[in-house]
Amino acid sequence: MNVSRSFISRTGHWWVGALLACAVASPVEAHVATITALFKPDSAQPHLNKFKNTTPPSGYCQSHAQQCEGEDLFSLQVPIQLNSRAPILANHASQRQGAMLRVPAQWRDLTVIHEATGDPQRVRIRIAGIGTRVVSDDVKELVGGADNYQIAHNRLWGSSWVYAPSPCEYTGSGFYSTNFYEFFWKTPWAGACAKQAKYNVPWLRFDYLDFAYELETPNPLKMSSGHYTGSLNYSVGPMGDFDFGDLMIPNDSVLTLNFNLDVQHTLKVDIPPGGEKVRLTPAGGWQSWLQAGRKPVRLFRDQTFNISASSRFKMYYECQRWATFDCTIKDALGRRQVELQVFVSLPNGLTDPSGQPVRHQRLRAGPEKAQIFQPGFYVDRAPGVLHFEVPKEEVEWMLQQPNVASPYTGSVTVIWDSEI
């Protein structure tokens, strides 16, 4: 966890008659914590298309890793301390006059922005647990004596801190000593979870905030490679987002969570050796034409390739020579040229923008006519096909002069581009 502090000064100004008066409020302190997540395709788990939370854990999930992993929880412990501004009276009527904890357990949205493109994406977070170390005077002295400190803690607060008052829930986490009790509760629903003191408590301190959170990240397959950043502010203190009643006052009144999402997409295409040279032939070869005079219907060649893709990409091609829409190839004497068409078939998992499979879809020359494709899951080294074809009418034109043989040549550059 990366932690820093910032101080925000708030200045107001107003006119009174002809005089300018200024008032400067006390600095509002904010504690800042950073949450990081990474998406990087994993060929061992190609269908696991989600971010991995890379935030170093602290607090509850650091010491209870298995419990948190099972429930997809993460935790941070931040040094926001709360101290009572007045004694807590025995059997206080209002829960706000005692040890109370209420956290923002409902989902909250924030926007993270791509640093280079400005692309906005939505992130959701909820606070799913809360804990701290409750410190006071020696609890045996506060209750007038007890057989042991566990009994003294229970007498002081009516029950053990391990057992969470509703709507919080039990985790089984607890540790105590002579004057403190560490605990952690789950917060499945919003609401105040309060303990009533059964004896007077001259002073009380919460040493830190330990909170668990659930995180919902965007679909990384629909995001661009690069860094996305954003932040969310929570108020801390009486009637704030993190509310600990009217007596417990924090040393930091704002908790800022900074989010840093790193997207590392893969787009890789492998052409088999020799695949850069394409020889167009009729179905079954040239023997039917040479021996029986049967004109070929078309000239074509299918060239396979392997593709790995975890993000949207576009495809188009560029030509050595080209006509209105397509490339052309020219005979050896440079007197004739014919149109060459290029098509593509993509493996399962890659679709067009409408979600349809890509089967023999025609490509066009130039980036302005690029076709866009998108993954439904990470495709890892799956086979696709480029289809090169001289159509029937062009072949007929090539064969109008009998007994005149001439090779037709040209070059085509097919481009897969992840920059959309």
Q: What is the pLDDT of residues 153-172, one digit of tens each?
A: 999 999 999 999 999 999 98
In a domain, 109, yes or no: yes
Residues 84 and 225 in one domain: yes
In a domain, 65, yes or no: yes
Residues 273 and 250 in one domain: no
Task: Say what the pTM is.
Answer: 0.81
- For every residue of 112-174, DSSP letters joined together read EEETTT--EEEEEEEEEEEEEEEE-S-HHHHTT--SSHHHHHHHHHSS-TTSPPTTSEEEEEE
Q: pLDDT tens digit string along 190-203?
A: 999 999 999 999 99
Residue 67 pLDDT > 90: no
In a domain, 327, yes or no: yes
Q: What distance in Å separates the CA atoms of residue 78 and residue 56, rounded to the nearest whole number? A: 13
Residue 2 pLDDT > 80: no
Between 274 and 250, residue with greater pLDDT: 250
Encode burial over 79-117: b for 16+ CB neighbours within 10 A, e otherwise: ebbbebeeebeeebeebbbbbbbbbbbeeeeeebebeee
Domain that holds residue 237: 29-263
pLDDT for the residue 293: 64
Residue 403 pLDDT > 70: no
Q: pLDDT tens digit string along 15-58?
A: 222 222 333 333 446 799 999 999 999 888 888 889 999 999 89
Residues 160 and 216 in one domain: yes
Q: pLDDT tens digit string along 315-355?
A: 999 988 766 667 888 888 777 888 999 999 999 999 999 99
Residue 208 pLDDT > 50: yes
Contact 373, 350 (CB under 8 A): yes
pLDDT for the residue 291: 61
Which residues lie below 8 Å from residue 279, measured CB to CB, with a gap of 6+?
A: 301
Find the mean pLDDT for residues 112-133: 96
Residues 174 and 292 in one domain: no
pLDDT for the residue 327: 87
Residue 404 pLDDT > 70: no
Domain boundary among 238, 263, 288: 263
Residues 167 and 205 in one domain: yes
In a domain, 386, yes or no: yes
pLDDT for the residue 401: 64
